[in-house]
Amino acid sequence: MNRFYRQGEVIAVRGDEADVQLSISGFCSGTHKCAQTVFIKGLSSDRNMVRAKNSIGARVGEKVMVEILSPGFYRSLFFVFIFPLIALLIGCALGIQIAVWMDSSQKSDLYAGIGAIVFFGVSLLVSRFINQRVHPQYLIHHRMDESLSCENCSRLIR
């Protein structure tokens, strides 16, 4: 099981869970004027709201470090990056083989392209279906000290 860490702010508390607005930039809050701040300027943060188990009793408005437990991380990587590439190559090879079987070797490039597109498209649909079943778990790890700089944030998770 892979573990990742992101900084966030507690928006609401509901029993033993809390809604946390995760920082777009991961560890950097954007207030330290580091190089990463340039890339996140103007990005919407609406999609970074998660519900995390509040094991430390964090309150609304506190900055916290959220631990993300992702049990299917490597499987997801395979189905997002490797599987479509393999499907593309298989579709291309099958398209060429179909052209040979149909005695249309002049059109083998056309059949290879069509086979590659069809297999790639199907692989993307399969990848999407499989990745929707992977649900990470969120856990509030600890409170953040407001005086931390970007360099110190990475030391907290060790």
Query: How far does the chain reach from its first CA to its final CA, in angstroms?
Result: 17
Residue 36 confidence (pLDDT) above 60: no
Q: At what angle do helices 108-131 and 83-101 cross, to 10 degrees?
A: 150
Q: Two tokens at 117?
A: 């597109």
List pLDDT tens digits, range 133-151: 777 788 888 787 655 555 5
Contact present, 18 and 52 (Cβ < 8 Å): yes
The model's pTM: 0.56
Picking from 1, 21, 39, 2, the residue whose alpha carbon sits closest to that of residue 140 is 21
Closest among 14, 36, 15, 33 to 24, alpha carbons compared: 36
Distance (Å, rounded) from C-alpha 144 to C-alpha 136? 22
Task: State the chain's mean pLDDT as an integer.
Answer: 78
- What does the pLDDT look like over 40-72, one tens digit per residue? 555 555 567 788 888 888 888 888 888 888 777
Task: Retrieve residue 83's tokens.
Answer: 């599987």
List the beta bridge partners of residue 104: none
Domains, the chain: 2-71+136-153 (2.40.50.140), 73-131 (no CATH)
